[in-house]
Amino acid sequence: MTAEQAAQQAAEHPAEPAAGRVTKRRVRTRANLLDAAFRVFAAKGFGRVSIEEVCEAAGYSRGAFYSNFASLDELFFALYRQRADLIARQVADALAGDGPDLDVPASVDRVTEVLLLDLDWLLVKTDFLVHAARDPAVAQTLLEHRSRLREAVADRLARARGRAPLPAVLGDADSAAHAVVAAYDGVTTQLLLDKDVDGARAWLKQLLTALLTDGSGTPR
């Protein structure tokens, strides 16, 4: 790159503030990078995307990228945290609708009605899962992020357990939360193939009702 080209690039994409300063501009830059990365990941697959492509899609330089993220892995985890927190809030809010008691069938209805079933996100998440499976350090970080959703479900089930006992086969609330998340994972895998969002919601409702009750919709 010539000095003239470097000057032009600097004018078009001024340097971001130092890492210690969180300005409105930096927040906006980070959000734009996340949005652009999500679009590119969904279109091409996580493992086929470069930092340069994310920068181009967002309209920023590599300097802007590196002032916010150390790597594509770190950027993905920021995306994952956004989605995991959203799903955790959806589940927690749906399960909290009964107050101190827990009407399992009604709560299942609310959870399956509001739960995020975004095909583009499922594609990106699945791509990254394969990437993480080949890297133990990334896999460990992904497991820690996945625990957010499970902990939100386990907390609600634990607080309601005295009034709405779980089927004994599930054991404690944490084990029950593992089962709930496993059911969600299974349904979303099918959704990736058949693209039937309404069918996925109906199937998830049936699975969670059978899992958390005696199968009739009545809590045990």
Is residue 101's pLDDT more than 70?
no
41 near 33, Cβ under 8 Å? no
CB environment 204-214: b (16+ within 10 A), e (fewer): bbbbbbebbbe
Between CA 20 and CA 24, with CA 23 as vertex, the angle to 5 degrees is 155
The whole-chain average pLDDT of the chain stands at 80
Give, in order, the Cα–Cα distances in Å from 112 to each of 21, 171, 183, 208. Answer: 40, 23, 12, 9
Would you place residue 103 in the very low, low, confident or very high pLDDT band (cuts 50, 70, 90)?
confident
Own/partner long-range contacts of 38-43 (Cβ < 8 Å, ≥24 apart): 38/79, 38/120, 38/121, 38/124, 41/76, 41/79, 41/123, 41/124, 41/127, 42/120, 42/121, 42/123, 42/124
Closest alpha carbon to 160 in 146, 177, 181, 144: 177
Token pair of 88 as six digits: 């955790």
pLDDT at 93: 74
pLDDT at 18: 42
The pLDDT tens digits of the residues spanning 1-27 come to 443 444 344 344 444 444 445 688 889
pLDDT at 111: 80
Is residue 84's pLDDT more than 90?
no
The pLDDT tens digits of the residues spanning 41-74 come to 999 988 899 999 999 999 999 999 999 999 999 9
Give, in order, the Cα–Cα distances in Å from 18 to each of 22, 24, 66, 70. Answer: 8, 13, 11, 14
The arithmetic mean of pLDDT across residues 150-158, rounded, is 78
Distance of alpha carbon 138 from alpha carbon 126, whole angstroms: 14
Closest alpha carbon to 178 in 169, 197, 71: 169
The arithmetic mean of pLDDT across residues 127-156, rounded, is 86
pLDDT at 164: 56
Which one has a higher pLDDT value, 214 or 29?
A: 29
Q: First CA to last CA across the chain, in angstroms?
A: 70
pLDDT at 17: 41
Is residue 96's pLDDT more than 70?
no
pLDDT at 51: 96
Q: Which range (9-23, 38-52, 139-153, 156-170) has the least confidence?
A: 9-23
User: What percentage of the chain carries pLDDT values higher than 90?
Assistant: 34
pLDDT at 217: 52
Distance of alpha carbon 167 from alpha carbon 164, whole angstroms: 10
